[in-house]
Homo-oligomer: A and B are copies of this chain.
Amino acid sequence: MAKLRLHIQEDEGHDEIYRITPAAYAREAVRFTEIADRLDVSFGANDERDDIGLATAEVLLCGYFNNKGLQTRAPKLRWVQSIFAGVDKLVPAIAPGVTLTNSSGIHAQKAGEYALGAMLMLNSAVPHFIEAQRNKEWSQRFTPSISRRTAVILGAGRLAQAVAKNAALLGMSVIGMARTAGPRPDMPDCRGIDELRDVLPLADFLVMMVPNTPETRGLIGRYELGLLPAHAGIVSLGRASVMDHDALVDRLEAGELSGAFLDVFEQEPVPASSRLWGAPRLIMSPHCALDDGPDYVRLSLDLFFANMRRYLDGESLDNVVDTGRGY
């Protein structure tokens, strides 16, 4: 039986944790020998000579890379698996008829953990304490238990569900928001996005967990931010384009909102001129909060091999991206 041609394209310029090197692949493939034995694998980095493998590949496993002209460089492609959840930069490179799958879900564990930690810190006024500490001010705040608080989660995918699950563990109320209303796993109360303006005033925390799509862009603008109670806190872990950061900083500078934890930004790295760096009660993490350092490659290959089994068995793949919708 002819082996299936798999090309693994890794970006040498990217952080080590994302690199599926030949050694990393070999280390994980031993857990899936029945599948791995049916694959003929080539590896590419950022060298044009690596395109030899790409030219004959039926399946491409990749992170970010220079995908310019992919359709001519890889004419035999039928399926592209990204190791990332956000594929907005990859979508335009995919030929019609080629299936694109993302790694949605592998960030769920850390997303649930980070969002819960951020909400707990916001609830205890820690962003205020950090600001006070900078000024050597002893400035107490007495806050209630988080069990009396409500999280509004924008999004209803696996990451959003992981946040909802952890919030419920501590007795919080959760309202999810999605394109269509209706219960999701760990998210019994999920409402349609048309209710957004009715729901925002109920939020003690607004957690943003949606991808960058035409529908989500600018969803939380100045008006929507104004609908949040003055004590509310913000956690932004999806895509930056969803929220008006300038309006956010304005409200923080006005002394409103308990704070904001942002992991994603319109421009990354954030330019030195940005107002975000010095905004009060705003805590930035440089787009890494959801990426499991020691486990990223393992989690990516777990998902890839599960999908490859489906592919080889002629089943429909998991995590197929609607390239029209963008996620």
Contact = CB atoms under 8 A, between A and B. Distances in A.
A120 B117 contact: yes
Nearest to A119: B117
Interface string A95-124: 000000000000001100110111111011
Interface string A283-298: 1111111011111100
A136 B124 CA distance: 25
- Identify the interface centre among A15, A17, A289: most chain B CB within 10 Å of its CB: A289
A72 interface: no
A43 B283 CA distance: 45
B126 A293 contact: no
Interface in A272-314: 272, 277, 283-289, 291-296
A121 B129 contact: no
A166 interface: yes
Interface stretch (A54-62, A137-145, A319-327): A137-145
Contact of A136 (B110, B118, B133, B277): B277
Given A136-B272, A277-B136, A292 B117 contact: no
Nearest to A169: B169
A69 interface: no
A149 to B, nearest CB: 10
A46 interface: no
A13 interface: no
A289 B129 CA distance: 10
Contacts of A52: none
A163 to B, nearest CB: 12
13 contacts: A109-B147, A110-B124, A116-B117, A120-B120, A121-B121, A124-B285, A129-B284, A129-B285, A130-B283, A132-B286, A138-B269, A142-B291, A143-B293
Given A120-B113, A283-B133, A284-B129, A142 B277 contact: no
